[in-house]
Amino acid sequence: MAYAEEDRNSYEAYKETADWLRARTFQRPKTAIICGSGLGGLADVLDNKTIFPCEDIPHFPQSTVNIQNYVNIQVLSNMHVTFPIRVFFLLGVEILIVTNAAGGLNPHFQVGDIMFIRDHISMLGLGGQNPLRGPNDERFGVRFPCMSDAYEQDLLSLAMESAQELGFLSFVREGVYCLQAGPSYETIAECRALHALGGDAVGMSTVPEVIVARHCGLRVLGISLITNKVVMNYNSQEKANHEEVLRISVVRAEALQKLVTHLIGKLGESTNSP
């Protein structure tokens, strides 16, 4: 069925996509993962994958979906759109794990640190841009969803337990993630302002997906990999660049993969416990 561009975010389009995927796998995933820049290697930790090229999936953004047959995970690489979130919801997903590469605003953070997101500040939202603008479909969620619990404390606690059990506490942090539009990196004045507002890390993704996920009632855990320290001194010769972000992502990818895999195991245990 063909849809006009303005209808691609209709309930019928989401349902057609979900039905297409459901008809092609016996699995009914309960957890979904969205991978940020350079973190697509998280998909490599999954066994017995079923891979659907996104150009084959009705209405789906151009990426690759891997449906894992053992722990019921769906993984998307480099998604900066919210369409998959509502598809996940219609597939029965209950938990969303979002990962991203971010610049460190907190002076105590080091390159390579992993930050569990406790809260976020959306510069886009403060400027009037929100993925929930427009007509609301009550089949997905209420008109005015609460965001004070955007990142669930129970999931954050489980993630911290996983970090402790793996011996990762020396490079694991908690903090506030700031969203800015990009694709340019932040100016020095912008970095200073974001830090003054309470931000610990800054990036160009994640928040729209989280807002839509919470609108659908999904539980959310956010993880930022600190790939660079932002520049807040006019005398500094350092410059943010995407190649360095990708390099650091590769360096810390193994630890992040172990952390997410360990956490997924704990989620499975909690789901199966009486």
Residues 141-160 have pLDDT tens digits of 999 999 999 999 999 999 99
For residues 84 and 65, give the distance between their C-alpha atoms in angstroms, rounded to a whole number. 10
Residues of the domain holding 245: 27-127+147-231+239-267
Instruction: With respect to residue 134, please indicate whether it lies within any of the assigned structural domains.
Output: no
Q: How many domains does the chain have?
A: 1
Instruction: With respect to residue 179, please indicate whether it lies within any of the assigned structural domains.
Output: yes
Alpha carbon distances (Å) from 177 to 98, 163, 180, 227: 12, 19, 10, 14
**CATH number of the domain that residue 114 is part of:** 3.40.50.1580
Instruction: With respect to residue 132, please indicate whether it lies within any of the assigned structural domains.
Output: no
Higher local confidence (pLDDT), 264 or 210: 210
Higher local confidence (pLDDT), 87 or 42: 87
For residues 173 and 166, give the distance between their C-alpha atoms in angstroms, rounded to a whole number. 14
- pTM across the whole model: 0.87
What value does the CA radius of gyration of the chain take, rounded to a whole number of Å? 18
Residues 13-28 have pLDDT tens digits of 999 999 999 999 888 8
Instruction: With respect to residue 139, please indicate whether it lies within any of the assigned structural domains.
Output: no
Residues 241-260 have pLDDT tens digits of 677 667 776 778 888 888 99
Instruction: With respect to residue 39, please indicate whether it lies within any of the assigned structural domains.
Output: yes
Helix (H, G, I), strand (E, B) or coil at 186: coil
